[in-house]
A and B are shown apart, each in its own frame.
Chain A
Amino acid sequence: MKILIYAEHREGQLRKITYENISLARTLGQPFEVLVVGNEVQDIQEQLGRYGAEQVVFYKNAQLENYSADGYARIVAEAVKERQADVLLMGATSTGKDLGPRVASILNAAMATDCIHVEMEGDNLKLIRPMYAGKVQATIRLTSAVKVVTVRPNVYQASEAPVTAKVDTKEVSAPDFKTVVKEIVSGAKGKLDVTEANIIVSGGRGMKGPENWHLIEDLAQLLGAATGASRAAVDAGWRPHDEQVGQTGKTVSPSLYIAVGISGAIQHLAGMSSSKYIVAINKDPDAPIFKLADYGIVADLFDVVPRMIEELKAGN
């Protein structure tokens, strides 16, 4: 079973999920190649080699500088055919979720989105993916000849296994684009998205208002974390939509999730319950968040968070 790993990149930089997927492919013990589609992508050979990719194919065209859904889909589908891959492995990122189904559709392949567990089962894959925002997990099997699988970021660890990568570059002709990306607007300067972050500090209704959010931001900055918010805080207009964690927001799996003044409504818990470690700070001892938390402090967040900031500053 041959796996083709789609290398995700933005603004010329490869993204972490690519390395995670290489590590996953290695543990599956199946032959794999890495596919890069684009124009200028930096350090392909070094970076992919460092994580253990021996064979890299680079489908290149100046017009592929920026990602375009339908354009990329055609190239990727072509690559899957040319490389005779059985499985296309991608990250369950915004790109993977956008591109994957299109490639699958072109190849008449079935696709599994956002897998949190991938293993070999005979000559097929056993895939586990959350449904209902993680309230349950489904074990699924794809029966199509070619299969597309996207894997949730942060689930598999990227581990180094240096080899010398062989990079075959192929100039491809650019297809017609039906959609054209005109611009990428970054969020707040240096802002880390919750789905990619290793640490998240989230605030909820207990924060009492947007004027107190500097506490969340200061703490996040000291920890190198992304900031998140509960639906209550987003609905109240305290925080932007893209910070919302939960069933109608984002599903996250960081190593550390710090819930500040979040009671833990079921729809919030669904979005963050697969975090490796959860810290809850809430003055209500009955808050459901404590059921999930590995560590909890039952006290007023306006006492606790400033103290955390103070201690972390002192520690640094």
Chain B
Amino acid sequence: MNIAVCVKQVPDTETKVKLTEDKKAVDESEINFILNPYDEFAVEEALQLKEKYDGEVTVISLGPDRISSAIRSALAMGADKAIHLQVDENPQDPNVVANALAAELKNGGYDLILLGKQAIDDDHTQVPSILGEKLGLPSVTVVIKLNIDGDKVVAEREIDGAHEIVECTLPAIISTQRGLNEPRYASLKGIMRAKKIQIEQKPAQLSDDQLNIIGFEYPPQKNPGKIVGDSADAVPELLRLLHEEAKVI
């Protein structure tokens, strides 16, 4: 099975996001970048399928130079090849990203394209669905269970408050959600192996952004609330406040 995994490098979840002084951009100087956590599920799934059906796993990532460490993370987990679609800075419009990925993917002859359900930085949650349209392939998003038999795909996807069982055929696009699998840790052997793999570099084919970020703000600061008490005896007062002051119960 010929599998492509699209990954993105994103700030660590523990990162405090700082804005530049003019608030036009995020200050990247103190950010620790990691492989997007949802993409780890995609890499893991690809590796498990490869172990089961044989084949090759290619990692594809779009971004500036710094993303090589995220690509290496995916290779260290066990992927075979990597393509880095180079840009000076990440496009703001997810549609532009999807177009560039689609341009690369369409000639790759992939049976399966896996990617995380969303990147935890932009949180657009658009690329997997757009890719389906651009490539004319079935695309199942937010998948927590995946079964592939021949070219038949049965996927269980998470929807609000329920799960949906969806069927389609390969080639297909699957976006992965937590719960699908337990991503393996990159072992030291894997890291050594990854370091010997040459990452294929090519410029990304970019279209114009139709989504522009005008500026950023920090979320409104909440005033420190009140400590109602330091024992269970504070419960009646808490309930009174929720009922009478906040009017939420």
Interface residues of A (CB under 8 A from B): 10, 67, 69-70, 73, 93-95, 97-102, 104-106, 109-114, 129-144, 178-187, 191-193, 195-196, 199, 223, 240-242, 244, 246-249, 251, 255-256, 265-267, 270, 273-274, 276-279, 285, 290-300, 303-304, 306-308, 311-312, 315
A303 and B232 contact, CB distance less than 8 A: yes
Q: Does B109 contact A (CB under 8 A)?
A: no
Which residues of chain B from 128 to 185 have a CB within 8 Å of any chain A CB? 128-130, 132-134, 137-142, 144, 154, 156, 158-168, 177-179
Assuming the A-B contacts A142-B210, A196-B161, A247-B13, are A296 and B227 also in contact, with contact meaning beta carbons closer than 8 angstroms in the complex? yes
Q: Does B122 contact A (CB under 8 A)?
A: yes
Partner pick for B179 among A114, A242, A293, A298, CB 8 A cutoff: A242
List 13 A-B pairs, Cβ < 8 Å.
A95-B160, A98-B129, A105-B134, A110-B211, A132-B121, A136-B26, A143-B211, A179-B139, A179-B140, A184-B162, A277-B242, A294-B226, A308-B235
Closest 4 CB pairs of A and B: A193-B161, A110-B210, A241-B179, A101-B129
B219 and A136 contact, CB distance less than 8 A: yes
Complex CA distance for A272 and B225, rounded to whole angstroms: 16
Residues of chain B within 8 A of A131, CB atoms compared: 121-123, 216
A295 and B166 contact, CB distance less than 8 A: no
Complex CA distance for A134 and B17, rounded to whole angstroms: 10
Chain A, residue nearest B17 (CB): A135
Q: Could you tell me the distance in whole angstroms from the C-beta of B224 to the nearest C-beta in chain A?
A: 6
Partner pick for A187 among B161, B209, B239, CB 8 A cutoff: B161
Residues of chain A within 8 A of B163, CB atoms compared: 184-187
Q: Does B1 contact A (CB under 8 A)?
A: no
Which residues of chain B from 101 to 138 have a CB within 8 Å of any chain A CB? 120-130, 132-134, 137-138
Chain B interface size, as a band, is: 35 or more
Complex CA distance for A315 and B239, rounded to whole angstroms: 10
Q: Could you tell me the distance in whole angstroms from the C-beta of A242 to the nearest C-beta in chain B?
A: 6
Partner pick for B130 among A105, A140, A291, CB 8 A cutoff: A105
Assuming the A-B contacts A98-B142, A144-B210, A193-B161, are A178 and B228 also in contact, with contact meaning beta carbons closer than 8 angstroms in the complex? no
Partner pick for A138 among B164, B215, B225, B232, CB 8 A cutoff: B215
Residues of chain B within 8 A of A304, CB atoms compared: 232, 234-235
A295 and B228 contact, CB distance less than 8 A: yes
Complex CA distance for A20 and B34, rounded to whole angstroms: 37
B216 and A104 contact, CB distance less than 8 A: no
Q: Could you tell me the distance in whole angstroms from the C-beta of A61 to the nearest C-beta in chain B?
A: 19
B129 and A102 contact, CB distance less than 8 A: yes
Q: Does B29 contact A (CB under 8 A)?
A: no
Residues of chain A within 8 A of B133, CB atoms compared: 70, 73, 101-102, 105-106
Partner pick for B38 among A110, A111, A248, A290, CB 8 A cutoff: A248
Consensus secondary structure, chain A interface: mixed
Chain B, residue nearest A280 (CB): B225
A142 and B227 contact, CB distance less than 8 A: no
Chain A, residue nearest B217 (CB): A137
Residues of chain B within 8 A of A112, CB atoms compared: 211
Q: Could you tell me the distance in whole angstroms from the C-beta of B17 to the nearest C-beta in chain A?
A: 4
A133 and B139 contact, CB distance less than 8 A: no
Residues of chain A within 8 A of B230, CB atoms compared: 297-299
B235 and A311 contact, CB distance less than 8 A: yes
Q: Could you tell me the distance in whole angstroms from the C-beta of A132 to the nearest C-beta in chain B?
A: 5
Q: Does B95 contact A (CB under 8 A)?
A: yes
Chain A, residue nearest B123 (CB): A131
Complex CA distance for A134 and B218, rounded to whole angstroms: 9
Q: Does B11 contact A (CB under 8 A)?
A: yes
Q: Could you tell me the distance in whole angstroms from the C-beta of A14 to the nearest C-beta in chain B?
A: 14
Residues of chain B within 8 A of A104, CB atoms compared: 95, 126, 130
Complex CA distance for A139 and B242, rounded to whole angstroms: 32
A294 and B234 contact, CB distance less than 8 A: no
B232 and A140 contact, CB distance less than 8 A: no
Complex CA distance for A114 and B178, rounded to whole angstroms: 20
